[in-house]
């Protein structure tokens, strides 16, 4: 929350119940991984997932910078830089999110191709004057066009502009309707209404939507089923030590990591894909992160500066690729494709987040891989699906959350749509991909065959605003862009507390550029009893009005109540105020920044930030795996791979290459241990 919002305004809550949705997605992915291991080993698992840790592990670059450099980050508003933000259009708002290699397409789309070759505009990450100029040019272009016109024109240049649809727009979105994403169910109380299917397909199957159950509807059925299972288990318990579910007797492997023995070829870049494969690595899989000798992972360059070896020291890359092995292999060359095919023969999973069609053009589509290894699982992570009019659009995390409907819902009261403080589509897409992969591996245990998994990242975000969509479909739309207020709870907001001693703010290179001093207290009153408890703690007679004793009365007077709470909190240290309220069972906590999380006593007590040593980046903190397992050990985090670090060992071990053959590949620039042309 500290990262979301405008710098001059309070931290902004994302719309709906994002922490719960993200926690639920973790629950799915962790459970499927544990079920897969249980089917292999006969031993189940107890999983502890902290919702706080789930958020703390997904702070994009701000988290790694706090852990590694000891610097902090806060709100950057709707425009972090010119080609990464939200702009007004003639009839609303649109978004744009371009990495360095897409910036030229943005210049061409807005009618200024001459900027593409101008060194003044080559680095919009750190050059503020150039950002101001480009921002003005983009604004001039977007305000003269409707959102639809912008979307259509930018698509011709493959420029990553996005629409920001409302719930009504998503329910009628042609590609979602045509793909069968919406399925109509009949509910005995609500009547007919749409529900989404899964955001991923396994061999083309996206499952089916079923209505929510009525209260207690299946009690008798479930109890009867449990009794039947008890009888079955009682009848078999004396004959075997095997699990009644898996038929596998527990063995020594049950104490090893969940994914011990699984090998993943990771062709993904940036955040969503590497985040997915980090779960595999954390759970014991051998993950091989493959980059191009001339096309390193894009986040290796984040914060590079003048250090010629900085590509091995980027906190962003090292945090999300820890515990993996690394290769730099050129898949544009026949010798590189041949080497990769040899690796596929020894792989369980191949995962990529390339543009649609690239894998197939390289001869690495599902059918191609199946001919090499029938047991391999191919996972693809398109932004908007493999087919349809949007399939080939370029999209990053901000594009996904905008096109998925979340951004239209959140913002300050009376303000425009507001992006999240991180590229939220990326970590959520990564968690979904991890769970879908585990489901495909679990299915492989039954069938012996690999599967083709397609994770549509936009559809995943659509599922994170489900209550808004259902309310819209039923004709009772929920309020949107209500700042930090809540439709049910009152008071509900964040309040400025006493300033702290200061936290260093740094630029993208880690250089100090200022300090943050603001601290904030979040309060959520969910009942009349909690309100009475809050009144007792604050002890301000202005809160003793009888009309405030009901939620309706507190909603009506929200502004007046907020003013009183704001005065009270401003004179207190945020943690002290939170402890006073928590002692009376009122939901209240400081709004923690990334650096505050690193210093948090509770996370320290749970050993959430262990340290490790990287051969070039040195010793620093990382985040502990979010899935905590009772029966499998937590293996120490291993450093992220240096560029091409494991080329030779992997080619020896899995490819059967000799030293001379490996040297020939290096001489031909098929492999490299430093980015070529950098």
Give the mean model confidence (pLDDT) for residues 442-449: 96
Q: Supply the DSSP string of 622-675, one letter for each residue.
A: -PPPSSEESSS--PPPPPPPPTTTTHHHHHHHTT---HHHHHHHHHTTSB-SS-
Give the mean model confidence (pLDDT) for residues 99-113: 93
Residue 322 in contact with residue 289, Cβ under 8 Å? no
Which run of H or E residues covers position 555? helix 551-556
Confidence category of residue 312, pLDDT binned at 50, 70, 90: very high
pLDDT score, position 303: 56
Chain-centre distance for alpha carbon 66: 18
Confidence category of residue 242, pLDDT binned at 50, 70, 90: very low
Share of the chain above pLDDT 90, in %: 87
How far apart, in Å, are the Cα atoms of 69 and each of 112, 153, 315, 514, 536?
A: 38, 41, 8, 15, 42
Contacts of 216 (CB under 8 A, 6+ apart): none
pLDDT score, position 244: 44
Share of the chain above pLDDT 70, in %: 96
pTM: 0.94
pLDDT score, position 241: 47
Q: What is the Cα–Cα distance from 253 to 331, expressed in whole angstroms?
A: 36
- What is the biggest distance separating any 2 CA atoms in the chain, rounded to whole angstroms? 86
> Would you state the structure tokens that stand for residue 326, as one six-digit string?
């690394």
Give the residue range(s) of CATH 3.30.1540.10 domains in the chain. 492-603
Query: Could you say which DSSP state residue 329 is in?
Result: B
Q: What is the Cα–Cα distance from 181 to 190, expressed in whole angstroms?
A: 20
Q: What is the Cα–Cα distance from 214 to 657, expressed in whole angstroms?
A: 61
Give the mean model confidence (pLDDT) for residues 546-566: 97
What tens digit of pLDDT does each residue of 189-232 get? Answer: 999 999 999 999 999 999 999 999 999 999 999 999 999 999 98
pLDDT score, position 79: 87
Question: Which of 256-265, 290-299, 475-484, 631-640 is the least confident region?
Answer: 631-640
> Would you state the structure tokens that stand for residue 100, as one six-digit string?
């360095």
CATH class of 492-603: alpha beta
Confidence category of residue 248, pLDDT binned at 50, 70, 90: low
């Amino acid at each position: 929350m500290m990262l979301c919002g405008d710098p001059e305004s309070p931290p902004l809550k994302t719309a709906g119940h994002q922490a719960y949705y993200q926690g639920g997605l973790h629950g799915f992915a962790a459970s499927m991984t544990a079920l897969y291991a249980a089917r292999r080993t006969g031993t189940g698992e107890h999983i502890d997932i902290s919702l706080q840790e789930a958020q703390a592990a997904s702070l994009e670059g701000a988290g790694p910078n706090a852990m590694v450099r000891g610097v902090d980050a806060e709100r950057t508003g709707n425009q972090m830089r010119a080609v990464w933000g939200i702009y007004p259009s003639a009839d609303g708002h649109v978004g744009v999110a371009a990495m360095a290699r897409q910036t030229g397409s943005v210049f061409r789309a807005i009618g200024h191709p001459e900027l593409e070759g101008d060194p003044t505009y080559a680095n919009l990450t750190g050059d503020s004057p150039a950002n101001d100029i480009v921002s003005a040019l983009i604004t001039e272009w977007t305000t003269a066009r409707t959102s639809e016109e912008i979307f259509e024109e930018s698509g011709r240049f493959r420029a990553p502009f996005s629409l920001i649809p409302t719930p009504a727009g998503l329910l009628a979105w042609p590609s979602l309707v045509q793909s069968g994403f919406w399925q109509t169910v009949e509910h005995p109380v609500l009547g007919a209404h749409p529900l989404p299917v899964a955001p991923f397909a396994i061999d083309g199957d996206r499952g089916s939507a079923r209505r929510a159950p009525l209260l207690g509807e299946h009690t008798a059925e479930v109890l009867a089923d449990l009794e039947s299972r008890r009888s079955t288990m009682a009848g078999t318990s004396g004959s075997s030590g095997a699990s009644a579910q898996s038929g596998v007797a527990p063995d020594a492997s049950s104490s090893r990591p969940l994914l011990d023995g699984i090998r993943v070829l990771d062709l993904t870049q940036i955040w969503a894909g590497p985040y997915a494969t980090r779960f595999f690595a954390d759970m014991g899989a051998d993950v091989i992160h493959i980059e191009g000798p001339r096309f390193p992972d894009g986040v290796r360059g984040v914060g590079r500066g003048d250090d010629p070896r900085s590509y091995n020291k980027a906190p962003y890359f090292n945090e999300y690729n820890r515990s993996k092995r690394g290769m730099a292999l050129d898949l544009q060359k026949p010798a590189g494709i041949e080497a990769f095919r040899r690796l596929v023969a020894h792989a369980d999973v191949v995962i990529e987040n390339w543009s649609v069609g690239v894998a197939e053009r390289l001869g690495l589509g599902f059918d191609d891989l199946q001919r090499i290894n029938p047991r391999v699982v191919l996972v693809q992570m398109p932004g908007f699906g493999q087919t349809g009019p949007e399939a080939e659009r370029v999209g990053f995390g901000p594009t996904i959350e905008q096109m998925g409907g979340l951004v239209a819902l959140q913002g300050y009261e009376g303000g425009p749509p507001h992006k999240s403080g991180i590229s939220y589509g990326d970590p959520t897409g990564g968690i979904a991909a991890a769970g879908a992969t585990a489901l495909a591996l679990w299915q492989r245990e039954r069938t012996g065959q690999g599967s083709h998994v397609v994770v549509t990242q936009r559809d995943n975000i659509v599922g994170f605003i489900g209550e808004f969509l259902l309310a819209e479909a039923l004709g009772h739309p929920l309020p949107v862009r209500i700042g930090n207020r809540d439709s049910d709870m009152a008071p509900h907001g964040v309040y400025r507390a006493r300033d702290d001693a200061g936290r260093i703010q740094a630029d993208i290179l880690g250089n100090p550029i200022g300090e943050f001093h603001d601290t904030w207290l979040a309060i959520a009153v969910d009942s009349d009893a909690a309100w009475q408890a809050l009144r007792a703690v604050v002890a301000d007679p202005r809160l003793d009005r009888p009309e405030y004793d009901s939620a309706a009365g507190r909603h009506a007077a929200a502004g007046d109540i907020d003013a009183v709470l704001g005065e009270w909190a401003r004179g207190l240290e945020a943690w002290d105020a939170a402890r006073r309220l928590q002692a009376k069972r009122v939901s209240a906590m400081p709004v923690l920044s990334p650096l505050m999380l690193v210093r948090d006593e509770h996370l320290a007590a749970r050993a959430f930030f262990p340290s490790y040593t990287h051969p070039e980046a040195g010793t620093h903190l990382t985040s502990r795996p979010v899935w905590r397992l009772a029966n499998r050990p937590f293996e120490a985090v291993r450093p992220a791979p240096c560029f091409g670090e494991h080329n030779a060992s992997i080619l020896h071990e899995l490819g059967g290459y000799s030293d001379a053959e490996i040297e020939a590949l290096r001489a031909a620039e098929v492999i490299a241990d430093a980015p070529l042309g950098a």
